[in-house]
Structure 1
Amino acid sequence: MARIITIIVLCGYTAVPLLEVLRDDPPLDLLLMCLGSASALFFLQLLHSSPRARRWTAPWKTLTLTVQSVLTFLPFLWLGITWAGMGGILGSSLLLMLPAPLSWFLFALVAAVIDGYAFALRLPAVTELYTPLTTLLTGLVLYGLTRLTDLVHEVHSARTALARMAVAQERMRFSRDVHDLLGYSLSAITLKCELIHRLVVTNPARAQEEVTAVLGVSRQALADARLVARSYREMSLSEEAESAATVLAAADIRVTLDISCGRLHPAVDTALATTLREGVTNVLRHSKAQSCTITAVRKDDTVWLTLVNDGVVDKDRPLGPGGSGLSNLAARLGAIGGRVTSGTRRDGRFHLEAHSPVRPGAICPEHR
Structure 2
Amino acid sequence: MAVVSSSARRLASGLITAVSLAYSVGALLYFLQSPLLGAVAGIALVVVVSLHYLHIRAALRGGRPALFPLTVVLQVAATYLPDLLPDGMSGVTAPLLAGTLLVLLPLPWGGALVGLMMLYEGAALLSFQFPLIVVFLYVVTVPTTGAMTYALVRFVRMAADLEQARAELAEAAVLKERLRISRDLHDGLGRSLTAIALKGDLATRLMERDPGSARNEVAELVRVAREAAQDVRQVARGYRAMSLTGEVHRAVALLESSGVDVRTHLAEVDLPGPAEEALAWAVREGITNVLRHSRATTCTITTSLNGESLRLEVANDGAPASSGPAGGGLTGLAERAAQAGGSCTAAPTGTSGFLLTMEVAA
Q: What TM-score, normalized to structure 1?
A: 0.88
The answer to whether 1:123 aligns with 2:130 is yes
Please name the residue that 2:201 is paired with: 194
Worse-superposed segment, 16-25 or 336-345: 16-25
Question: How do residues 10-89 of structure 1 correspond to structure 2 at under 5 angstroms?
Answer: 10-24=16-30, 25-49=32-56, 50-51=58-59, 61-78=68-85, 80=87, 82-89=89-96
Q: CA 1:346 to 1:31, structure 2 compared with 1: closer, same or farther past 3 Å?
A: farther
Q: Give per-residue Cα distances to partners, 1:256-308, cap 9 Å, x unaligned.
A: 21122433223222211111111111111111122211112233321111111
Query: 1:283-334, CA deviations, whole angstroms, 9 ceiling, x for partnerless residues?
Result: 111111222111122333211111111222361x5523xx211111111221
**1:62 CA displacement:** 3.7
Residue deviations 1:223-242 (CA, integer Å, cap 9, x gap): 11111111040111111112
- Counterpart check, 1:95 vs 2:102: yes
Contact 1:261–1:303 (CA<8 Å) still a contact in 2?
no
Aligned partner of 1:365 in structure 2 is none
Match of 2:355 in 1: 351
**Equivalent position to 2:330, from 305, 326, 331:** 326
**How many residues matched?**
354
Q: Aligned partners of 1:53, 1:148: CA distance in 2, in Å? A: 12
For 2:60 and 2:146, locate their aligned partners in 1 and report how far apart those are by CA, in whole Å. 20
**Given that residues 28 and 41 in structure 2 are in contact (C-alpha distance below 8 angstroms), is that contact kept between their aligned partners in structure 1?**
no
Conservation of the 8 A alpha-carbon contact between 1:255 and 1:293: yes
Which whole-Å CA distance do the structure 2 matches of 1:319 and 1:26 have between them?
90
Gaps of 5+ in 2: 1-6
Q: How big is the alpha-carbon RMSD for the aligned residues of Structure 1 and Structure 2?
A: 2.4
Match 2:11 to one of 1, 5, 23: 5
Structure 1 window deviating more from structure 2 (45-54 vs 168-177): it is 45-54
Task: State the SS of the aligned residue for 1:161.
Answer: helix
Q: What whole-Å deviation, never above 9, does each CA across 1:25-50 have from its counterpart, x for those lacking one?
A: 14455434333322322232233332
SS of 1:342's partner is strand
Distance 2:54 2:158 in 1: 18
Q: Does 1:256 align with 2:260?
A: no
Name structure 1 gaps, 5 residues minimum: 359-368
Aligned residues of 1:85 and 1:134 also touching (Cα < 8 A): no
Offset, 1:117: 0.8
Out of 225, 239, 256, the residue aligned to residue 218 of structure 1 is 225
Aligned to 1:114: 121
TM-score normalised by length of structure 2: 0.89
Q: Report what 2:342 is aligned to.
A: 338
Q: Distance in 1 between matches of 2:338 and 2:47?
A: 59
The structural deviation recorded for 1:53 is: 8.1
Q: Aligned residues: percent identity? A: 31
Note if contact 1:85-1:135 (Cα within 8 Å) is conserved in structure 2: no
Q: Secondary structure at the match of 1:75?
A: helix
CA distance in 1: counterparts of 2:269 and 2:99, whole angstroms:
67
For the Cα contact (< 8 Å) 2:121–2:139, is it kept in 1? yes
Distance in 2 separating the partners of 1:200 and 1:263: 46
